Amino acid sequence: MTDTADLYATATGLIERSAAGYASGVPEDAADDGLFGPASVTWRMSADLASPVAGLRSMLMQALHPLVMAGVDQHSGWRRDPAGRLAATMTYLTTVTFGDRAAATRAAARVRRIHDHVRGTDAVTGRPYAAGDPALLLWVHGALVASVLAAGSLVGTALSAADSNRYVAEMVTAAELTGVPRPLVPSSVPELDLYIASVRPALRCTPAAAESMAYLLDPPGMDEEVAEIWRDVRDAAIAALPRWARQMYGYGAPPPLTPSRRTEIRQSLGVLDAMFLGQPGVLEARQRITLRMRGGRPG
Amino acid sequence: MKLIRLLAAMAAGAATLVLPGRRPGRLRRDRTLAALRLAVRGGARYAAGAPRLFAAAGEQRQLLREDLALQTAEDVAGTLGAMKGVMMKIGQLASYVDDGLSPAVRHTLARLQDSVPPMSPRLAAAVVAEELGAPPERAFARWDPRPIAAASIGQVHRAVTLDGRAVAVKVQYPGIAETIAADLRNVALLRRMLRIAAPAQDIDALLNEVRDRIGEELDYRREAATPMGEAEAAWRARRQAATA
């Protein structure tokens, strides 16, 4: 066994760099309301306290696809710069959500160009992969959308059935932007459930998945007290996973989420959110969003 | 404790009517628990300026940002729930402590205070109506719908009571007392936060200080049990006469 701390860079700067990505993704002068608009469920959910839980659950789900994981593992350089990798994702998601159409389209074109070079062969399954493969992009998309709903209903804002369906339908555009043909993308909760069930036989916890997720669940280099707070995020993300996904990773059954435990997790999320808010530009970015959601002028 | 004396001295300097911000329409209306505190100094006129003492340094917050005003109890919960109200109070207390805080923590706590906009005039009026049983225009002879200062977990409005006294009315954000009380019970997380914020300090002493100070401020019943100001007595008498 090697010491993981030697293999990977530390998570130092995770909050700072994610925050910088977020602040830069919320435009000061938007030419239009973007792909979703201030009245969308997508905008509402992106501000949810459960977002870190959704993000972590999302990565746990995405990593279970061997070809998705192989692409990330062999190309993204996350070991050298994990904070940079996460910050890039944060910037992208924020730009696609809150940016105007031109900004969202530019960001997506940039990601598609990067994906063009991400090809290889997965050592575990022996299968070739390409990051631009709609099947892989769709899994990344479906895992994210399902995770926002699952994390919200567990520790954040639980959406009504109608709003859940609306969210899944709104997000079809996000998948299309990355290169998935629109007709392939689930556009309701039942379709999303069916889709995830259909992919499940192909999923497994490869060594790369186990390794990278162990890193995320307990990032080295975090301040001890912050690490304690992160533990609540991790517990919530694992609790929000489907049972079969937990079993693939070998996580035990989570303790029941009592109301008081849920409150504790939300309190930890509030502290994390305050740290995020303390970063340059984040408060102003949120105020820009609030004003637009209230129908005020952008910026 | 320097901290306490300082805050107490501030509190004594202003004419205040404190309205605990219950969630409008959710809790039962119980006038005896309305827990008003009116500490009018003899001859006090329109108390403009004085209530600003309630705002700690750097805590003018978003008073001018009416466009960002909290419009609903949900807005309040989103802004001050999940430990954020407690952290804001810690930030406020910390602004009296000279050392022990890293510049980064100080900055974060200050930003948190900056993040809290005022209540919209409508939401503030709903709290007044919930507590006094009448909208502010009827509960007071004059009511300024625009807050003149940020209070720690509420805001201060100028008003004139029905018997003609100029007062500053401190209106608490609705629902926040319950949330903060629940957040104060998570001692493990409070310790963590304090260890992050002030690693060099005696955490147990700091924790007690924070819980005492914040708990005191939330406990309007205890405040109400102290001798009432004459203006409050007058207000109550009028109110009883009006409802008899």
Q: What angle do CA B88, B91, B92 make, to 5 degrees?
A: 90
Q: Does A280 touch chain B (CB under 8 A)?
A: no
* pLDDT(B3) > 60: no
Measured distance CA(A245)–CA(A199) in Å, rounded: 12
B145 or B23: which leads in pLDDT: B145
In a domain, A3, yes or no: no
Q: Which residue has the higher pLDDT, B125 or B200?
A: B125
More confident: A179 or A299: A179
Which two three-digit tokens encode residue A280? 């340059």
Q: Is residue A1 part of a domain?
A: no
Q: CB–CB of A273 and B82 under 8 A?
A: yes
Q: pLDDT at position A214, please?
A: 94
| Burial grade of A130 (CB within 10 A; 0-12, 13-18, 19 or more) | middle
Look at chain A and report how many structural domains it folds into.
Answer: 1
Specify the amino acid at residue B179. Answer: T
In this complex, do A229 and B195 lie within 8 Å of one another by their Cβ atoms? Answer: no
Nearest-neighbour CA in chain A from B164: distance (Å):
38
Burial track A263-289 (b if 16+ CB lie within 10 A, e otherwise): bbbbbbbbbbbbbbbbbeebbebbbbb
Q: Report the mean per-residue pLDDT for chain A.
A: 92
pLDDT digits (tens, 9 = 90+) for B213-234: 888 777 655 544 444 444 454 4
Quickly state the pLDDT bin for A259 (edges 50, 70, 90).
very high
Say what the ipTM of the complex is: 0.82
Place A30 in a pLDDT band, splitting at 50, 70 and 90: very high
- Indicate the pLDDT class of residue A15, thresholds 50, 70 and 90: confident
Q: pLDDT at position B2, please? A: 23
- pTM exceeds 0.80 for this model: yes
* pLDDT(A153) > 70: yes
Q: A189 and A213 in contact (C-beta within 8 Å)?
A: no
Asked whether residue A293 is domain-assigned, the answer is no
Domain carrying residue A230: 11-285
Residue A111 domain flag: yes
Distance from CA of A298 to the nearest CA of B (A): 12
Q: How many CB atoms lie within 10 A of CB A212?
A: 22
Q: Do B192 and A229 touch (CB under 8 A)?
A: yes
Contact B189 A273 (CB under 8 A): no
A194 interface with B at CB cutoff 8 Å = no
Residue A198 is assigned to a structural domain of this protein: yes
Q: Please write the tens of the pLDDT for every residue from B55-114.
A: 333 444 444 567 888 998 888 888 889 999 898 888 877 766 656 677 778 888 888 887
Rounded to an integer, what is the distance from CA A26 to the centroid of its chain?
Answer: 17
Answer whether B210's CB lies under 8 Å from B20's CB: no
Please report residues of B whose CB lies closer than 8 A to that of A227. Answer: none
Residue A199: inside a domain, yes or no?
Answer: yes
User: What are the pLDDT digits (tens) for B6-25?
Assistant: 222 233 333 445 565 554 44
Counting Cβ atoms within 10 Å, is residue A123 exposed (0-12), middle (13-18) or buried (19+)? middle
Q: Give per-residue pLDDT as tens, A242-254.
A: 999 999 999 998 8
A131-140, A147-156, A270-279, range with the lowest pLDDT: A270-279
Nearest to A49 among B82, B112, B192 (CB): B82
> Looking at residue B202, what is its pLDDT?
84
SS (H, E, C) A139-187: HHHHHHHHHHHHHHHHHCCCCCHHHHHHHHHHHHHHHHHHCCCHHHCCC
